[in-house]
Amino acid sequence: MKKSTITILVLVAAFIFTTVAANAADGAAVFKQKCIACHGANASGARDLTSAKVQGQTDAQLTDFVANGGPAKKPAHSFKAKGLTDDDVKAVIAYIRTLKK
């Protein structure tokens, strides 16, 4: 590979890593405000977010749970209806991904 191609790939990877880390940090803040009461400070309360079952779900599945209450459409868990933006939901999902055991 040419030196310029490697440099571009490194810069793109650094940008992606920085963006994901920033999203996870934003998601941690939203988690502390909206999720900690049920899931606990270490996210292993109601529906353990660190579990293989939760971590094995797709981002689309997790997004549906956070934003809309999941397949059952549980109103108590419909955080998009409670004011979370699409960006907030994406950030929470990024944070959840950091909780993998």
Condensed to tens digits (0 to 9), the pLDDT of residues 80-96 reads: 999 999 999 999 999 99
If DSSP codes are grouped into helix, strand and coil, which group holds residue 1? coil
Q: 34 Cβ partners below 8 Å, 6+ apart? A: 79, 82, 84, 92
- What does each C-alpha distance from 51 to 62, 78, 96 come to in angstroms? 13, 21, 10
Answer whether 0.85 is exceeded by the pTM: no
pLDDT for 18 beyond 50: no
Condensed to tens digits (0 to 9), the pLDDT of residues 27-68 reads: 899 999 999 999 999 999 888 999 999 999 999 999 999 999
Structural fold of domain 3-97: Cytochrome Bc1 Complex; Chain D, domain 2 (1.10.760)
At 15, list the tokens: 């940008």
53 burial via Cβ count (<10 Å: 0-12, 13-18, 19+): exposed
| DSSP code of residue 48 | -
Task: Please count the other Cβ atoms lying within 10 Å of the Cβ belonging to residue 30.
Answer: 19
Q: Given pLDDT bands bounded at 50, 70 and 90, which one contains residue 6?
A: low
Q: Given pLDDT bands bounded at 50, 70 and 90, which one contains residue 15?
A: very low
